[in-house]
Chain A
């Protein structure tokens, strides 16, 4: 079956430092990977969408300078939260979609970021 792993599951960083998180797709080819953030008391919000062989598209209020993303192959993606502050805390989800044309995304369990 299709599985998505995320690492680390939980992390704590000091305010002003950076944190890198990873997403691994197993059992299918992750043609596109979407990164979401769920801030406390809010729903999931799309940060950016990465499609292999295409430019990464960031949503309004999110930038490459703040959330650089790498998607080097069909099984792996990483995102870094640069210069993290309190408002960056939350659960970061990776959603990967295969190349069969279905609209379904497979999600990882998320990386929970705490900023001190």
Chain B
């Protein structure tokens, strides 16, 4: 079936260090969209990144990710963590043209001074 795996439940970093949050997926669909959502406490989950074509990098607000179908991955990266990046990050996927999102368990990113 379809699933999304975020192997880290918690990532702690010092400000200025690079960020990498892992996301892998399993799917029966040949085409699928992958997303990263950022969720701050008491706010709505907000779309951070959406996958493009295979092996193409997408960027937004300093974050970037590349869909690799060969490894079924869509890892989230940022070159330098900021304190304001501390939040809960969800990786999610949906089959092409469909509305159902399958979420990973989420990764809490804590950035300290």
Contacts and interface: CB of A to CB of B under 8 A. Distances in A.
A93 B99 contact: no
A108 B44 contact: yes
B53 to A, nearest CB: 14
B64 to A, nearest CB: 18
Interface in B37-90: 37, 42-47, 50, 90
Nearest to A31: B99
A104 B47 contact: yes
Contacts of A105: 47, 99, 101
A82 interface: no
B97 A107 contact: no
B103 A34 contact: no
Nearest to A10: B42
Q: Is the interface of A mostly helix, strand, loop or mixed?
A: strand
Interface stretch (A11-19, A43-51, A66-74): A43-51
Q: Is the interface of B mostly helix, strand, loop or mixed?
A: loop
A103 B45 contact: no
Which interface class (under 10, 10 to 19, 20 to 34, 35 or more) fits B?
20 to 34
B33 A103 contact: yes
B88 to A, nearest CB: 10
Nearest to B93: A103
B104 A34 contact: no
B99 A49 contact: yes
A103 B50 contact: yes
B106 A97 contact: no
Given A108-B44, A109-B44, A32 B99 contact: yes
A109 B42 contact: yes
Given A93-B45, A103-B33, A107-B44, A43 B90 contact: yes
- Closest 7 A/B residue pairs (Cβ): A44-B103, A103-B33, A43-B103, A109-B44, A43-B105, A107-B45, A107-B44
Interface of A: 4, 32, 34, 36, 42-46, 49, 51, 59, 93, 95, 97, 103-110
23 contacts: A32-B99, A34-B101, A36-B101, A43-B104, A43-B105, A43-B106, A44-B90, A44-B101, A44-B103, A45-B103, A49-B99, A49-B100, A51-B99, A103-B33, A103-B97, A103-B99, A104-B50, A107-B44, A107-B46, A108-B44, A109-B42, A109-B44, A110-B44
